[in-house]
Amino acid sequence: MTETSCLTALGLPPVPSKVLDPYLDAAATCFARHGLRRTRVTDIAEEVGVSRVTVYRQVGTTEDAARLLLARELDRLVNSVLPTLVAVEDADGIVTVIASAVDFAVNHPVMRKVLQDETDLVGAFVMSEFSTVLDRLLLLAEPVVRRLEVVAGARDLDVPVLAEWVARVVLTMVVAPPAVPPEEFLRSVLRPLLAAGRRQG
């Protein structure tokens, strides 16, 4: 994987089939071990226990595998958070849900490796694929904001605008974590907003 092509070419495909899970699990292991730049298709093949040709046929290049892995992990994040969201009964619970999304990302082994050893790739990714990932995060952010509107009694919230704000904050917190824990940071920025919404209601 070359320096210029690692993440600058990253565009997210549809959520991959579960048939690809063994290959994507192996790719995740290799990315966490070697980094995105140094992982080769042969590394993934050895991890799965198949030939290099089979890996190419199933997931393509290492760049393709990274794109598929990111699409899968974002889908898993959305599907893991939404059931919790439905059960939330107050604004603090909403903050916990958002913070859990941040924790999921920053504690992911591949993301940890990239943030620790390949920080230049983060900038390339943000520049080239921010809007693509933002669109995926909006799938999570909009129901979060709608639930927040209900449980916090904050009326007249502009749901699409606030959902985009939440998605942008989450993405920013992943690539540039705040100095305080995610929940503390989110509470400090959401409380004034919710208070204003309740006053308007």
Q: Give the model confidence (pLDDT) of 19-49 as tens digits.
A: 999 999 999 999 999 999 999 999 999 999 9
Report which residue type is found at 115: L
DSSP state of 50: S
Determine the pLDDT at residue 7.
34
User: How far from 71 is each of 4, 24, 75, 77, 119, CA to CA, in Å?
Assistant: 21, 11, 6, 10, 20
At 8, phi and psi to the nearest 5? -65, -25
Q: What is the mean pLDDT of residues 142-157?
A: 78
Tens of pLDDT, residue by residue over 73-111, are: 888 887 888 788 878 888 788 888 888 888 888 899 998
Residue 71 lies in a domain: no
Contact 106, 112 (CB under 8 A): yes
**Res 43: pLDDT:** 97
Q: Is the residue at 75 inside a domain?
A: no
Residues 126 and 31 in one domain: no
Give the pLDDT of residue 27.
97
Same domain, 194 and 127: yes
Tell me, yes or no, whether 119 and 37 share the same domain.
no
Alpha-carbon span 12 to 32, nearest angstrom: 20
Considering the domain architecture, whether residues 58 and 131 belong to the same structural domain is answered as no
Residues 116-136 as b or e (16 or more Cβ within 10 Å = b): eebeebbebbeeebeebbeeb
Give 45-69 pLDDT, tens digit per residue.
999 999 999 999 999 999 999 989 9
Distances (CA, A) of 89 to 55, 158, 192: 46, 21, 19
Q: Give, as one character, the DSSP assignment of residue 156.
A: S
The token pair at 170 is 């989450």
Residues 177 and 97 in one domain: yes
Structurally, how many domains does the chain consist of? 2
**Tens of pLDDT, residues 152-191:** 676 677 888 888 988 888 888 888 888 888 889 888 887 7
Cβ atoms of 101 and 140 within 8 Å: the answer is yes
Q: Which domain holds residue 119?
A: 88-200
Q: What is the pLDDT of residue 39?
A: 96
Residues 140 and 174 in one domain: yes
CA 178 from chain center: how many Å? 16
Same domain, 114 and 159: yes
Same domain, 113 and 179: yes
Res 60: pLDDT = 95
State both tokens at 193: 């907003």
Question: Per the domain annotation, does 52 fall within a domain?
Answer: yes
Residue 4 located in a structural domain: no
Does residue 5 fall inside a structural domain? no
Alpha-carbon span 196 to 158, nearest angstrom: 12
Same domain, 97 and 196: yes
Q: Are residues 142 and 173 in the same domain?
A: yes
Residue 122 has φ and ψ, to the nearest 5°, of: -65, -45
For residues 132 and 194, which has the higher predicted lDDT (pLDDT)? Answer: 132
d(CA 178, CA 106): 12
Residue 43 lies in a domain: yes
Q: What is the DSSP letter of 19?
A: G
Residue 4, pLDDT score: 31
Rounded Cα distance, 20 and 15, in Å: 10
Kindly state whether residue 79 falls inside one of the protein's structural domains.
no
138 with 172, same domain: the answer is yes
Task: Answer whether residue 107 is part of any domain.
Answer: yes
pLDDT band at 3 (very low <50, low <70, confident <90, very high): very low
pLDDT at position 113, please? 92
Same domain, 93 and 177: yes
Mean pLDDT of 2-14: 44
